Structure 1
Amino acid sequence: MMGHHEGQKELFAYQVDMDKRVHCDHPLRRVLAHVDFGFVRTAVAHTYGSNGHVSADPVVLVKLMFLLFCENVRSERELMRRVPERLDWLWFLGFGLEDSVPNHSVLSKARARWGAELFEMLFVQTVRQCVEAGLVDGAKVHMDGSLIDADASRDSVIKADTQTIARIREAYGAQERKLDEGKPPSARCTTNLTMLSRTDPDAPCVSKGPRSGTARPRYKHHRVVDDRHGVITAVETTAGDVAENEQVLPLVEQHERNTGKQTTAVVADRGYGTVGTYCALVEQGVRPHISAMHDTAKKDTGKFTKEQFRYDSSEDAYVCPVGHRLKPKRKHARRQMTDYVADKRV
């Protein structure tokens, strides 16, 4: 006999056991098994007063921040909208079905109250707990950097000559970055000297590569990942035009300081493969596993420039200097551009 379920809101739910609703091999169970978030209360206690409005539990706030990044949620507003729909998140936070979810503003207020130094301490404490749990070996690490788009529109970017941009930057009061002092020219992007974002003048305008489109305001996030279980043990955020190889030694030092272990090998891509990086690592007894950085200038030798191509409007094609035709292959409506390619046999 076929059954038919009549959905109806229950007035009482006394028999709901949240722990039984989360399966035994859920990733958040492993997080709680290895990481004790209780240390957060002691760490931030000095930032709260003894009377007045009672704030949200700092442990809950840190867990919410963890979910924000671990689950790749787009925003704090979106996170708070989704928390009541996820039984596993409610269980992880220690909430019941009837508990009220905090407003999204509590996260930004907590960051302002606690400060950057305290968040760094929380990160180090978490890394040390991972070390104690045997999740970090410390000897072999992987290193990389990623460009992060600044919260600034490309419409805010103005272009001018170097002298004009320098005067505008001074007028906007852009703070001098601590990494600028003594930085070699190879670590700076020349594009940033002729472009400036009015809403975020500290974010230099850089591109993600020669074929990645136009430059926009960006920062760069550098990180060290331990080889054993992929635990991030050291991080650094810089301006987007800071070269990755310039952060190798500071990140190695931070990794050893956070984990209390000696680094013996560093694995990285060719963006780190400079002579100075090799020598510095070898001098410290660290074995580099890094591909050599190629000379891009040699690759461009003998190539045609875009000015040498002639556009044939009758066939909507570009003609290269030796007569081969490049025809449209795909159109990007959002970017308002078209890709022209030659025949595969050319």
Structure 2
Amino acid sequence: MGYIKGKERGQSVLFPGTVDEYIGENNEVRAIAAFLGRLDFVKLRFVRGQAAGTGRPGYDPRLLMGLFLWGHLNGIRSSRKLERESHRNLEVIWLCENLRPDFKTIADFRKDNGAGIKGVVVEFRLWCLRAGLYGKEIVAVDGSKFKAVNSKERNFTKKKLSQIIARERAKISEYLEAVAVADETESEEPELSAAQLKEKIAGLERYLAEHEELERQLEATGESQVSLTDPEAKLMKTDKGSEVSYNVQTAVDSKHKLIAAYEVTNERNDLGQLAVMAFQAKEALQVAELTVLADGGYYEGNALKECEQAGITTFVSVPKSKEAERLGIFAQSQFRYDQEQDLYVCPQGEELHWTKTINDRERNKKFKVYATKACAQCPLRAQCTTSKYGRKIKRWVDQGVIDRLRERIRGQPELLKQRKTLAEHPFGTIKRGMNQGFFLLKGISKVTTETGLTVLSYNLKRVLNIMGVEQMISSLAKANPCSA
């Protein structure tokens, strides 16, 4: 039967007369161009946002911004790869109006326009708000580790440095002994000559000096680790064990799983990020009240209090205390608090009264301490305390914040179940679907810009799935031309 026959490569072909004819009406590049075409790049503070009156003309920032947005949508972020696509990819040729910026121009645009790119992310979110794409009622906050441009071999903790320095000193001592033996046994032929051993010692001493300097640096700064390639990146626990990474935080709206706010930190856990992300999401969605969902990694009393005071209703998993279980005694939850009388009632029915208030400076909290004299004769003492002074209960002075949280969770447990599917969807799409689970740039400022491009491309991808290209362009046409 043979194969399907193609045309000879040397045969003349009549191609369409314009590049535009190759680009379908539902092609994503048309949506990109329509969105960027309505923005004021001068107000957004882009470098060369306004064409220069004299000198060599530069590239329109709309074209370079469009190139990056197309690249992130298609998993191509490298400036060299984007340059290559501008020569061969019809979508990029159409988007860039047949211009071919070199890789340095492309890379410099991203490096120099962090504030402008952040502004474009904001403008897209504002348009989505006006288009009714955000629910503005519930957001889920979550964090995920994104690999930095720094290998584990180029990251040193105090413990790692201590071990390396000990090994190097031991090896130097071993080689020094070998040199002495080699000098004495001239008749026998050693594995390594004295000269070769001295060369190895010199190399080890150089490494030792470098590592000792890093150890002194950690002592001086009080930091627990240092990264050499990207000094702001930190070694963090990940699904793969541990990697030198950044911690990317997002707040995801429940209606269409659009990202409402994002932040990049080099903190190794999520503790301390709840109030930051909740406040950002509330401001981004322009609402007076908001419900925020988060896992137990965000549980921190002061943050919950801040949120409550700002009109933010939190649903955060409350970690179980394992101390009582470890000691084999009654948990604090088994003691009933009487708010009216400000006392606790123990499992045996005895009352624990307030005795003093202590200030925990490390945790920035004040605690009221409750105790009773009934422990001395209590038949359940062994099940309640190991202290000779009897059982004491510490209650945070703002414990009502936690009590109200527990009550909300009991009333609406389904919200915490919703959190996981809501918060983890963007990270799954970004890391696996868009292949953007790692950074190409160094430094928290630059990786924040990189994250902004990723968030913008993710949100655009979601909107195109929801509305389609033609409907999006139609909606953009009705928007304010100054700010999408």
Give TM class, smaller chain: 0.5 to 0.7
- Tell whether 2:105 aligns with 1:106: yes
User: Map of 1:313-324 to 2, 5 A cutoff?
Assistant: none
Q: Which deviates more from structure 2 when the two are superposed, residues 129-138 or residues 278-287?
A: 278-287
Partner of residue 280 from structure 2, selected from 250, 254, 258: 254
Q: Within 1, Cα distance between the matches of 2:244 and 2:288? A: 36
Classify the secondary structure of the residue corresponding to 1:41.
coil
Q: TM-score, normalised by structure 2?
A: 0.48
Aligned with 1:227 (options 242, 248, 254): 254
The structure showing larger relative contact order (alpha-carbon pairs under 8 Å, at least 6 residues apart) is 2
Partner of 2:298: 272
Deviation at 1:106, TM superposition (A): 1.6
Which secondary structure does the structure 2 equivalent of 1:249 belong to?
helix
The offset of 1:125, in angstroms, is 2.1
Per-residue deviation, 1:197: 1.6
Kindly name which structure, 1 or 2, has the bigger radius of gyration based on alpha carbons.
2
Q: Which amino acid is the alignment partner of residue 208 of structure 1?
A: T
TM-score of the two chains, using structure 1 as the length reference: 0.64
Identity %: 20
- Specify whether residues 252 and 245 from structure 1 end up closer, same or farther in structure 2 by C-alpha distance, changes over 3 A only: same
Q: Following TM superposition, by how much is the alpha carbon of 1:94 offset from its aligned partner in structure 2, in angstroms?
A: 4.9
Q: 1:19 to 1:232 in 2, by over 3 A?
A: farther
Structure 1: gaps of 5 or more residues: 177-191, 302-346
The equivalent of 2:311 in structure 1 is: 285
CA contact (8 A) 1:139 1:262 kept: no
Cα separation, 1, equivalents of 2:105 and 2:24: 27
Task: Specify whether residues 103 and 275 from structure 1 end up closer, same or farther in structure 2 by C-alpha distance, changes over 3 A only.
Answer: same
Distance in 1 (alpha carbons) for counterparts of 2:47 and 2:30: 30
Does the aligned pair in 1 maintain the 2:46–2:61 contact within 8 Å?
no
With 230-239 and 68-77 compared, the bigger mean Cα shift is at: 68-77
> What are the superposed Cα offsets for residues 277-311 of structure 1, whole Å, 9 maximum, x if unpaired?
4443333332323323355889999xxxxxxxxxx
Residue in 2 aligned with 1:79?
82
For 1:234, the aligned partner's letter is A
Q: Distance in 2 between matches of 1:113 and 1:30?
A: 25
Q: How big is the shift at 1:20?
A: 5.4
Q: CA deviation at 1:59?
A: 0.3
Alpha carbons of 1:295 and 1:66: their partners in 2 closer, same or farther (altered >3 Å)?
A: farther
Query: Is the contact between residue 32 and residue 66 of structure 2 (CA under 8 Å) also seen in structure 1?
Result: no
Which residue identity does 1:103 align to in structure 2? D
TM-superposed CA distance for 1:147, in Å, is 1.2
Kindly report which structure 2 residues correspond to 1:1-346, keeping only aligned pairs within 5 A, or say none: 5-8=7-10, 13=15, 15-16=17-18, 18-19=20-21, 21-22=23-24, 24=26, 26-31=27-32, 35-43=35-43, 47-48=47-48, 49-91=52-94, 93-95=95-97, 99-114=98-113, 116-160=114-158, 167-169=216-218, 193=224, 195-208=225-238, 212-213=240-241, 215-241=242-268, 243-294=269-320
Query: Greater share of helix residues, 1 or 2?
Result: 2
Give the distance between the partners of 1:282 and 1:6, measured in 2 at CA: 72
Q: Distance in 1 between matches of 2:259 and 2:103?
A: 26
One-letter code of the match for 1:51? T
Contact 2:44 2:119 survives alignment (8 Å): no
Question: Does the CA contact (< 8 Å) of 1:274 and 1:293 recur in 2?
Answer: no
CA gap 1:157/1:228 in 2 versus in 1, 3 angstroms: same
1:27-62 per-residue CA deviation (whole Å, 9 max, x = no partner) reads 4445556x3444253236773354222222100111
- What value does the CA root-mean-square deviation take over the aligned residues? 3.7
Contact persistence 1:273–1:292 (CA under 8 A): yes
Distance of aligned partners of 1:85 and 1:270 in 2 relative to their CA distance in 1, 3 Å threshold? farther
- Could you say if the C-alpha distance between residues 10 and 287 of structure 1 is closer, same or farther in structure 2, counting changes exceeding 3 Å? farther
Give the distance between the partners of 1:277 and 1:46, measured in 2 at CA: 35
Unpaired runs of 5+ residues, structure 2, are: 163-211, 328-484
2:208 matched to which residue of 1? none
1:314 matched residue in structure 2:
none
For 2:231 and 2:142, the matched residues in 1 are separated by 25
Supply the distance in 2 between the matched residues of 1:40 and 1:196 (Cα, whole angstroms).
41
